[in-house]
Amino acid sequence: MGKKRIVTKTEKELFEEKEKVEAVARKEIRAKIPQKIKEGKIYIASSYNNTIITLTDLKGNVLTWSSAGSTGFKGTKKATPFAASKTAEVLAQAAKKLGVEKVEVLVKGIGSGRESAIRSIAARGLDIVSIKDVTPIPHNGCRPPKVRRV
């Protein structure tokens, strides 16, 4: 297998990564927002393949969104908790620039990025009013297949 080695990033690489995240955040912000919005809802859709985070106003109109794919992750890396936290950081930055302070978080799906996205949003300074799980659950499910006769 060979030796494992730990890769440490230099300050220059870390600075370039921060600039990349900020550039994505700037791109996400819409130019024509009527007024500063104080409250909003954040929808986190976490699947086995990707994490999509959407910021809306209280009526449900989309203000901005971000996904692990749009943040720069590819393939199986999109489904990781790290990708979800970076995506949430981009969205939180955009929310700060829009003037959003209080958010309700609605989580849907069974992916691995659920908790890390919420933690990242809280760490970025947005005031989380409530967290709600809106994952669809089948109550009776599909009709089972008929019994196999041999």
Distance CA 73, CA 90 (A): 13
Strand partners, 128: 103
Domains assigned to the chain:
37-133 (3.30.420.80)
> Which one-letter DSSP state was computed for residue 79?
G
For the ranges 17-21, 70-74, 119-123, which has the lowest average pLDDT? 17-21
Distance CA 72, CA 107 (A): 22
Closest alpha carbon to 71 in 35, 123, 113, 111: 113
Q: What is the mean pLDDT of residues 71-95?
A: 93
pLDDT band at 132 (very low <50, low <70, confident <90, very high): very high
Enter the tokens of residue 15. 């600075």
141 or 22, which is more confident?
141
pTM for the model stands at: 0.73
Altogether, the residues listed in the chain come to a count of 150
